[in-house]
Amino acid sequence: MRQLRLIVLPAVIVMVATSLSIDKIPLQPCRTSALQVDSHPLSMHNNNKKRETIHTVTRRNMLTITGTLSAMLIRQIANAADNNAPKVLATKNKRVGGLADKIRGIGYIMDELQRDLMQERWADVETYPQQLRSYVPLLTTYTDSAFPSDAPTDKGLRVALRYEVGRFFASLERFKQATSRQALDEAYVAYSDMALHFDRYLRVGGLYSYYDSTIDLERYYQDIDDKALVYANPKKDPPLVRDLIILIKGPDKGRTGIMIGKYADGSGKIAIKLDRFKGIREIRLVPEAWVAKRLGEQEPDDVFLIPRKPEKATS
């Protein structure tokens, strides 16, 4: 863990310093000899345009260098995390016991909630807010136990985790209000926010059960005709909530899942839940143009295969 922090902190400092310095590049005047000076307005305009072009190219080159440097640093951090994984996990498990598995269990409850919401079983849906609120002490205990030190990294992680918990339960309150009115679209958006913030908590808290080193899948499709991906025309037949989808653009191109929410705030964003991988269902918030409805015979989303608990017999 100490080795990982020694890599993370310099990495963050370099990236921040580099990004801040880009905007401070001044427009340098062109040095010309007396024979080159032309006071004609058109020539002066052209000179100014040249200077602006040089400045833009310089900024673009520096941004490219910064992006490359960031990617290299990210790879170093990932490698260090992989190399130290057994030691880190052993230490963390010693501190937090079985809390990690219990927190991952919230994802199963979220799956059941998705199933009941999409089937509009309002009586069942109303029972979830109280059940999810009972996990507040568990999340708080994990946050304080897994990252207990006064080191800047632990402090930053505690702040980030507490923020995600706060956003999760704020979204849960909006979900409760929407379901009390049986406002389905509002409930879908509130559920999407809940799922998104819980997903971020898992990521920040190191609770994912796997590490995916693939940053961008889109490059694997560069030489493949888009016709190889079977999907409906997004403009003529856009996906709706509950539709099985495929990502046709972006870093997750080719991955499949289900649409869980569409934001009506003018952002053009869609919330999707990717198909399960190693026990985890990742949440993505992506532009509408990246998502298309899958065609052909498909297996239902796995939340609809979750067996229901037997109802208590009423006497």
Residue 268 pLDDT more than 70? yes
Residues contacting residue 66 through CB under 8 Å, at least 6 positions apart: 15, 18, 19, 22
How far is residue 50's CA from residue 27's CA, in Å, rounded to a whole number? Answer: 11
Q: pLDDT tens digits for 121-180?
A: 999 999 999 999 999 999 999 999 999 999 999 999 999 999 999 999 999 999 999 999
Q: pLDDT tens digits for 201-245?
A: 999 999 987 766 555 666 666 666 667 788 999 999 999 999 999
Mean pLDDT for 62-83 is: 42
**Which of 9-18, 89-98, 112-121, 180-189 comes out lowest in average pLDDT?**
9-18
Give, for 271, the enclosing helix (H) or strand (E): strand 269-274
CA 103, 200, 244: angle at the middle one, nearest 5?
Answer: 95
Beta bridge partners of 231: 294
- Who wins on pLDDT, 177 or 71? 177
Confidence (pTM): 0.68
Residue 306 pLDDT more than 90? yes
Share of the chain above pLDDT 70, in %: 63
Helix ranges restricted to H, the chain: 2-22, 41-83, 85-96, 99-118, 122-125, 128-133, 136-146, 152-180, 184-204
Q: According to the model, what pLDDT value does residue 313 have?
A: 54
How far is residue 202's CA from residue 139's CA, in Å, rounded to a whole number? Answer: 11
Tell me the angle at which helices 99-118 and 85-96 cross, rounded to the nearest 10 degrees.
Answer: 80
Q: According to the model, what pLDDT value does residue 23 have?
A: 46
